[in-house]
Structure 1
Amino acid sequence: MNDLALNWITRELTAIHADKNARFLWCTDENALNTLPTALHEEQLLVLTNRWDVAEQAKARGFTTEFNDFDCSEIADNSLDKIFYRVSKEKPVVHHLFNQAWRCLKPGGKLLLAGYKNEGTKTYIEKIAKLFGSGKNIVKNGPVYSSELTKYTEYNAAELLDDSDYRQPRLIASDSGLQLHSKPGLFGWNKVDAGSALLIEQLKQLSPQPNPLNTCVDLGCGYGYLAIAAASLDICSSINHWIMTDNNAAALQLARQNLQFNQLNGDIIAADAGKGINAKADLLLCNPPFHQGFGIDGDLTDKFLLNAKHLLAPQGIALFVVNQFIPLERKAAPLFKEINTLADNGSFKVISLAN
């Protein structure tokens, strides 16, 4: 997908002309995947991303890069000359970064912002213009809105946009019997996902395996529900090595906390759909995403399946849950010898895979 909003951001980045003391910040998420330019103003520009794969690509292209949950706390007040941002999918993330832009930009500093019309970009521009005391300066180019907004007002914490307390984890799904914490910005953050719950129900009913289950990989773990729920089941009682992996910084942070809250020992690994992890899973659990940013990306399912093939032990079993319309069986056929649909409730289906 050719992201016209991101194209506008990168053109503005390449057009920078500034003295050597100027400091710039580029906040980006999965929308920048595979479209990063080579390093620009490498001593002056910091790329801040919540995505492991984007961070690795940015480093490979020579950018100074930080991978975290859009944590700007180490950036001093009134210290940045420009911030570049292609709007994100989740409103709490957008509002959080707008609030940080207001704090971090120098008086007279600029936020360069772009996004598509159907992403609420015009409304976002109006909100940040009000905070900044700036003109809206909205430019419409086909489906894309962009703006260069100048900070004129002093930062005032009492007037911040509502970011749903973005930085603060909170207890969710208290009726599940598990200690689960999550936060805005994560998939299904305030509940147990129905597809994941269906997978756990099928795992409960799975026949005992002929070989002992020692290692479990939660592939694309999110805040860690699948592994933590599985750990309480009889079929998983022999598992002594839990591995939870994700691409998202917030997911990794919450998965680590949830392991601790539930007194479960395990490894938390940042990876792109499990790529580069060398462990062999006797049991692999996965509720793969099918969105990349604002778009639907069928290749994501292929990537998760390919890495699951690599991670699965010779006698291991993988359980995937996907939306009913995802042709997982067809996609898995070239990779796995055994493919069985365990459940299909019309919304989600659970499929077991074996080498």
Structure 2
Amino acid sequence: MSSLTNPSRLMLRNCDELAVSRLLLVMPPSDSVISELGNELSDTEISVFTTVSEAEQIASRNLPADRVAYSYDLSSLKGAYDSIVFYLQKSRPLVEAMMSQLCPRLSENGTLWLVGENGTGIKSWRKKLTKWGAVDSVASGCHSGMLSLQPDDSFRAPASEIKESHFSVEVAGTIIDVATLPGVFSHGRLDVGTRLLLEALSKENVRGQLLDFGCGAGVIGSWFAARHKRCRPTLLDTDAMALESARRTLAANRLEGKVIASHGLNNLKGKYDWIVSNPPFHEGIKTRYDVTEQFLQKCHSHLGKGGQLRIVANNFLKYRPLIEEAFGHCEELARGNGFTIYGATVAKEFQSAEI
């Protein structure tokens, strides 16, 4: 993605407000806003914090390495910022958790700006922000809004770490403890699609190297590792919050596994015996199908001979033709509650792996 999103357009129209010594962009979209803002504010030291690996890659092409932070927390950020621009996220718990982390990063008279599209609730955040301090509507346009916040002194004090939540997952007699951080998919509960996937595969003999693509809190990979002692999971996601949750889920269940940060399959090497996934089609606020579509087109090359693909998808998603094109076949294994389980094998025809 390279063209400007609507919030970025609005921010650039009002970038004179951001002509400060040190500026921090938080969760910028994967567009060209960093380079264009750099051209407009040549005397401003711009830094970026993001939990999304694609945004980190874009920022790293435009900024020095010490001014780009890809992490689940803000501990790597050094010093105070005169202005912080925070792009509104879909998850309210994530926004609130990050707000509490960002306010202490402001200089004495620093300003926090919240920018987002009208359809994402930016207007309602004017009232919600008042619990942190004085709020003003700075600008509107491009179907977006921009708010400013002057935090009260009590919120400028150092904040505690972002808190994790735990919940238990039990499917087909296998129980795991799941740790999640705010904003991670299915935070605090097992989603319907993943439950259907695990139930459908509970009778399959899953062993060897398994890739959990778009792992979220690591439910799929951890559940299979707990159920099948010969299963060795690799958990992959683009989101640093998800990856930290996955690490904590593995640790909570005393399981071993690899955790990989990657935009799609870009950072993945080697071949696997299984790829099992509830692939994402949202990234932050926006709906994105391209990452999962590319995954389905390329995952065949990351499976060894006889390797198995299993995914769950909403019924309205047109993934079956993509799987058929890549594997030469596609089997519908289960359907229910608006979801379908698809399977394919690196072979001339589908081969189940029932115990």
Same fold (TM over 0.5): yes
Does 248-257 or 114-123 show the bigger shift?
114-123
One-letter identity of the residue aligned with 2:328: K
1:297 Cα deviation from its structure 2 partner: 2.1
SS in 2 for 1:187: coil
Q: Deviations over 1:126-179 (max 9, x none)?
A: 333553334x13433252111344x27323479x9xxxx981112212656212
Retained in 2: the 8 A contact 1:93–1:166? no
Name the counterpart of 1:145.
Answer: 145
The structure-2 alpha-carbon separation of the partners of 1:51 and 1:42, relative to structure 1 and needing over 3 Å to count, comes to farther
One-letter amino acid of the structure 2 residue matched with residue 147 of structure 1: L
- Residue 185 of structure 1, aligned match among 174, 183, 186: 183
Which residue of the partner structure matches residue 289 of structure 1? 280
* Contact 1:9/1:85, CA 8 A, preserved across alignment: no
Tell me the SS of whatever aligns to 1:189.
coil
* Residues in 2 aligned to 1:194 and 1:254: alpha-carbon distance in whole angstroms: 19
2:48 aligned partner, one-letter code: V
Q: Give 1:50-69 correspondences, 5 Å limit.
A: 50-63=51-64, 64-69=67-72
* Aligned mates of 1:291, 1:252 — CA distance in 2: 16
| Higher mean C-alpha displacement, 40-49 vs 222-231 | 40-49
Distance 1:148 1:346, change over 3 A: closer
Q: 1:44 to 1:257 in 2, by over 3 A?
A: same
Show the counterpart of 1:301: 292
SS at match of 2:223: helix
Q: Which residue of 2 aligns with 1:204?
A: 202
Instruction: Give the counterpart of 1:256 among 247, 252, 264.
Output: 247
Range with bigger deviation, 33-42 or 107-116: 33-42
- For each residue in 1:270-304, what CA deviation from the matched residue of structure 2 results, as whole angstroms up to 9, or x when unmatched? 11123221121101111111113323222232122
Letter in 1 for 2:335: D
For 1:218-259, what per-residue CA distance to the aligned partner results, in whole angstroms no more than 9, with x for missing partners? 1111111101111233xx4433x3211111111111111111
Change (3 A) 1:354 1:263: same
Unaligned runs of 5+ in 1: none
Map 1:101-140 → 2, pairs under 5 A: 101-129=102-130, 131-134=132-135, 136-140=136-140
Q: Separation in 2 of the partners of 1:42 and 1:273?
A: 35
Q: Contact between 2:300 and 2:327, CA under 8 Å: does it hold in 1?
A: yes
Partner amino acid for 2:6? L
Say whether the 8 Å CA contact 1:318–1:352 is kept in structure 2: yes
Aligned equivalents of 1:11, 1:167: Cα separation in 2 = 33
Larger strand fraction of residues: 2
Deviations 1:169-200 (CA, angstroms, capped at 9, x unpaired): 12212656212111321111111121111111
Q: Secondary structure at the match of 1:93?
A: helix
Shift, 1:3, TM fit: 2.2
Q: What's the CA shift for 1:205?
A: 2.7
Alignment match of 1:316 (pick from 275, 288, 307): 307
2:166 is aligned, of 144, 166, 171, to 171
Identity %: 22
Decide which moves more: 169-178 or 7-16. 7-16
CA contact (8 A) 1:52 1:270 kept: yes
3-state SS in 1 of match to 2:126: helix
Residue 2 of structure 1 and its aligned partner are, at CA, apart by 5.6
Judged with a 3 Å threshold, the aligned counterparts in structure 2 of structure 1 residues 294 and 343 are, in CA distance, closer, same or farther, namely: same
Match status 1:96 vs 2:88: no
Counterpart of 2:230 (choices 221, 238, 242) is 238
- In structure 2, relative to structure 1, the CA distance for the partners of 1:133 and 1:286 (3 Å cut) is same
Asked if the contact 2:261–2:267 (Cα under 8 Å) also holds between the matched residues in 1, the reply is: no
**Separation in 1, partners of 2:185, 2:103:** 27
Q: Is the 8 A contact 2:273 2:304 kept in 1?
A: yes
Conserved 8 A contact 1:259-1:265: yes
- 2:202 alignment partner, SS class: helix
Please tell me whether the aligned partners of residues 168 and 183 of structure 1 are also in contact (alpha carbons under 8 angstroms): yes
* Offset of residue 309 of structure 1: 2.1
| Alignment partners' CA distance in 1, 2:272 and 2:16 | 45
SS at match of 1:173: strand
- Name the aligned partner's letter for residue 124 of structure 1: W
CA contact (8 A) 2:179 2:217 kept: yes
Task: Give the alignment's TM-score, normalised by structure 2.
Answer: 0.84
Q: Is the 8 A contact 1:281 1:316 kept in 2?
A: yes
Is 85-94 or 300-309 further displaced after alignment?
300-309
* 2:316 partner SS: coil
Give the 3 Å change call, closer, same or farther, for CA 99–173 of structure 1 in structure 2.
Answer: same
